[in-house]
Structure 1
Amino acid sequence: MSSLVIRQISSSLFNSIRSRSNISLANMSTKTKFETLSITVPKPFVYNVELNRPDKLNAFNGTMWHEIGQCFKELHTDPDCRVVILSGSGKLFTAGLDFKAAIENSQEWGDVEDVGRKAKILYKHITAYQNSMSSLELCHKPVLAAVHSACIGAGTSLITAADMRYCTKDAWFQVKEIILGMAADVGVLQRLPKIIGSDSLARELCYTARKMDAAEALSSGLVSKVYEDKESMMKGVLEIAEDIAAKSPIAIQGTKRAMVYSRDHSVQEGLEQIALYNQLMLQSEDFTNGVVALATKQSDITFAKL
Structure 2
Amino acid sequence: MNFETLKVTQSEPPNSGIFFLYLNNPSRRNALTPKFFTEFPKALSLLDQNPSAKLIILASNGDHFCSGIDILSLKSLQNQQTQDQGRAREALRRAIKEMQSAITAIELCRKPVIASIHGACIGGGVDLITACDLRLCSKQAFFSVKEVDLGLTADLGSLQRLPYLIGYGNTMDLALTCRRIDGLEAKKLGLVQTVFESRDDLEKGVMELASSIAEKSPMALMGTKAVMLKGRELGVEHGLDYVATWNSAMLLSKDLEEAVEASVQKRKPVFAKL
Give me the TM-score of the superposition, normalised by structure 2: 0.95
1:180 aligns with 2:180: no
- Please point out which of 204, 210, 214 is paired with 2:173: 204
1:135 aligns with 2:105: yes
1:42 aligns with 2:11: yes
Contact 2:30 2:60 in 1 (8 A): yes
The farther-off stretch of 243-252 and 265-274 is 265-274
Ranges in structure 1 where 5+ consecutive residues have no aligned partner:
1-31
- Please point out which of 259, 269, 274 is paired with 1:301: 269
SS of the counterpart of 2:11? strand
The whole-number CA distance in structure 1 between the counterparts of 2:11 and 2:45 is 20
Aligned AA (1:83): L
The whole-number CA distance in structure 2 between the counterparts of 1:115 and 1:210 is 35
Contact 1:143 1:163 in 2 (8 A): yes
Aligned AA (1:81): A
Query: How far off its partner does 1:244 sit?
Result: 0.8
The whole-number CA distance in structure 2 between the counterparts of 1:280 and 1:114 is 50
Q: Which residue of 1 aligns with 2:73?
A: 101
Ranges in structure 2 where 5+ consecutive residues have no aligned partner:
none
Contact 1:61 1:102 in 2 (8 A): no
Contact 1:286 1:303 in 2 (8 A): yes
RMSD of aligned Cα (Å):
1.2
The farther-off stretch of 187-196 and 280-289 is 280-289
The farther-off stretch of 128-137 and 75-84 is 75-84
Larger radius of gyration: 1
Aligned AA (1:189): L
The whole-number CA distance in structure 1 between the counterparts of 2:99 and 2:130 is 14
Aligned AA (2:58): L
Contact 2:65 2:118 in 1 (8 A): yes
Q: Which residue of 2 aligns with 1:146?
A: 116
SS of the counterpart of 2:136? strand
Q: Which residue of 2 aligns with 1:79?
A: 51
1:168 aligns with 2:156: no
Q: Which residue of 1 aligns with 2:260?
A: 291
Query: How far off its partner does 1:275 sit?
Result: 1.2
User: Identity percentage over the alignment?
Assistant: 39
The whole-number CA distance in structure 2 between the counterparts of 1:302 and 1:147 is 31
Q: Which residue of 2 aligns with 1:253?
A: 222
Post-superposition Cα deviations, 1:103-129, rounded to whole Å, max 9, x if no partner, equal 34545x2x2133211111101110000
Q: Which residue of 1 aligns with 2:29?
A: 57
Q: Which residue of 2 aligns with 1:112?
A: 82
Higher relative contact order (CA 8 A, sep 6+): 1
Q: Structure 1: which 4+ aligned runs deviate by more than 4 Å? A: none
Q: How many residues align?
A: 271
The whole-number CA distance in structure 2 between the counterparts of 1:193 and 1:284 is 35
Contact 1:83 1:245 in 2 (8 A): yes
The whole-number CA distance in structure 2 between the counterparts of 1:294 and 1:280 is 23
